[in-house]
Amino acid sequence: MARLLLFGGKGGVGKTTSAAATAIWLADSGYRVLLVSSDPAHSTSDSLEVELGSEPTPVQGVENLWGLELDPAERMDELLPRLSEALRSGLGGNMSNILGSQASEGIADEMSSLGSADLLLPGLDEALAFDQLLSFAQDPRFDALIFDTAPTGHTLRFLGLPEILDSWTGRIIRLARLTGGVRSILMGRHQERAMREELDKFQKRVAHVRRVLTNPWVSSFTLVTIPEQMAVSETIRAADTLTEYGIDINGVIVNRITPDLDHPFLQQRRDIEQKHLASLKQSFEHLPVAEVPLEASDIHGLESLRNLGNSMNGEYPEPTQGMEMVTVGSSIPFSIRRGLHQDAQTGRLIVQVHMPGVNRDELSVRVTDGELFIEANGKSRQVELIQPLNSDRHKFELKGDILEITLEI
């Protein structure tokens, strides 16, 4: 599994720029990086000046870098198809003629308490984005996923979603009971069971996402802000909430700091910023704080992003060839390891895959016609091998978080 490096903060503080610059620096260091955004405004495409889609797209001009922009709304029906259809057809419409006014009023009350019939719960769009993110994190092609998250408030809403879903699911079930046997006629018992199964599966997936985000060996969060009172205050509150949920914060990036120039207006502005910066450092005395000066021009395009990444992170590290965890970056250090390592030996090929949180009972490995497939958490992925196989014979062992597969070549 790839290392998850999340960048978040108040809208307009430069988190997209910071995430893109770090992604380019890490890719230039030799790691395979996927830069992901859930911003419907396509700001990551604009920042890179590269057109991105909903599938990993190689970024021309940066070897080892791919990018994609998620569309959570597009995934709604894909993740909850039966439930969406059931709510629209089985529970909507004019049912008073069938059920009577009392039952119909009860249904109306329940529907209105849901907020909307199209399932737009607080934090649901972020849940869909994170759910998609994990599917790419399990892709053995990538060593790191850098996620440019939605503005802070949206991301924090997602963290409370499992508790919201518990209440929300209860309402759906109460609504189903109100319609009784008529609902079975309209929907069919099979469709009713399918609706419940979709709810249960989605709840489990949301809970799994939160478990991954709270695992410091897999995920870390970099806060991005600017030296203004409202932005600093929101950053401090966000850090408190992230800590409450157990999410590892590895540092804070402060963008657009006015340079120390001999001009009365700029000096006054800088003095105010320094006070806010001092307040922020006091609140984060245990964390590294990277100070990024205001530039004379906008930062966009590969070259300016690459220069920013080099300035923030320093010299390129020597990429590791094995699976050991290493610390990289100068201003805000973060840990990373290879997601996949292959070692060709005499007569055999050793494949190692980082798979944290996977139970042995939920894991299977198969080799078919010389191709390697790994299945975990209900998803199967093919691993591209550096050498062809002439045998399907293999064995595998889960050593902590590392899956080691021995293949005959």
Give the DSSP letter string of 50-93: S---SS-EE-TTSTTEEEEE--HHHHHHHHSHHHHHIIIIIS-S
**At 346, is the secondary structure helix, strand, or coil?**
coil
Q: Are residues 231 and 347 in the same domain?
A: no
Residue 82 is which amino acid? R
Expressed as residue numbers, the domain containing 373 is: 340-408
Domain boundary among 302, 337, 372: 337
Q: Are residues 252 and 356 in the same domain?
A: no
Phi-psi map region of 242: left, alpha, beta (phi>0 left; psi -120 to 50 alpha): alpha
Tens of pLDDT, residue by residue over 356-384, are 767 777 788 999 888 899 987 667 888 98
Instruction: Locate 50 and state its tokens.
Output: 């590269």
Q: Are residues 57 and 190 in the same domain?
A: yes
Q: Are 374 and 381 in contact (CB under 8 A)?
A: yes
Q: Which residues of the chain have pLDDT under 50?
A: 82, 86-100, 103-104, 107, 110-119, 181-183, 185
Of 22, 186, 137, the C-alpha closest to 377 is 137
Residue 296: exposed, middle, or buried by beta-carbon count in 10 A (0-12, 13-18, 19+)?
A: exposed
Contacts of 243 (CB under 8 A, 6+ apart): 249
Name residue, tokens 């390129």.
316
CATH number at residue 8: 3.40.50.300
Q: Are 290 and 9 in contact (CB under 8 A)?
A: no
Of 333, 377, 371, the C-alpha closest to 355 is 377
d(CA 149, CA 76): 18
Q: Are residues 351 and 274 in the same domain?
A: no
Q: Are residues 379 and 230 in the same domain?
A: no
Q: Please give the tally of structural domains in the chain.
A: 2
Report the DSSP pairing between strands 289-293 and 249-257.
Answer: parallel
Q: Are residues 260 and 373 in the same domain?
A: no
Domain boundary among 337, 372, 395: 337
CATH number at residue 404: 2.60.40.790
d(CA 176, CA 172): 6
Q: Are residues 333 and 346 in the same domain?
A: no
* Apex 224 CA angle, 220 and 226, nearest 5: 160
Q: How far is CA 139 from the centre of its chain?
A: 13
d(CA 8, CA 334): 15
Q: Are residues 359 and 324 in the same domain?
A: no
Q: Are residues 259 and 161 in the same domain?
A: yes
CB atoms within 10 A of CB 166: 10
Q: Are 273 and 227 in contact (CB under 8 A)?
A: yes
| Partner residues linked to 39 by β-bridges | none
d(CA 382, CA 375): 9
Q: Are 74 and 84 in contact (CB under 8 A)?
A: no
d(CA 48, CA 24): 10
Task: Report the pLDDT value the prediction gives residue 261, as an integer from 0 to 100.
Answer: 92
Q: Are residues 137 and 240 in the same domain?
A: yes
Q: Are 66 and 34 in contact (CB under 8 A)?
A: yes
d(CA 369, CA 297): 55
Q: What share of residues in the chain are helix, strand, coil (percent, to 5)?
A: 45, 25, 35
- Mean residue pLDDT of the chain comes to 80
Task: Report the pLDDT value the prediction gives residue 111, as an integer from 0 to 100.
Answer: 45
Task: Report the pLDDT value the prediction gives residue 409, as an integer from 0 to 100.
Answer: 80
Q: Are residues 249 and 150 in the same domain?
A: yes
Q: Are residues 226 and 350 in the same domain?
A: no
Domain boundary among 303, 337, 371: 337
pTM for the whole thing?
0.81
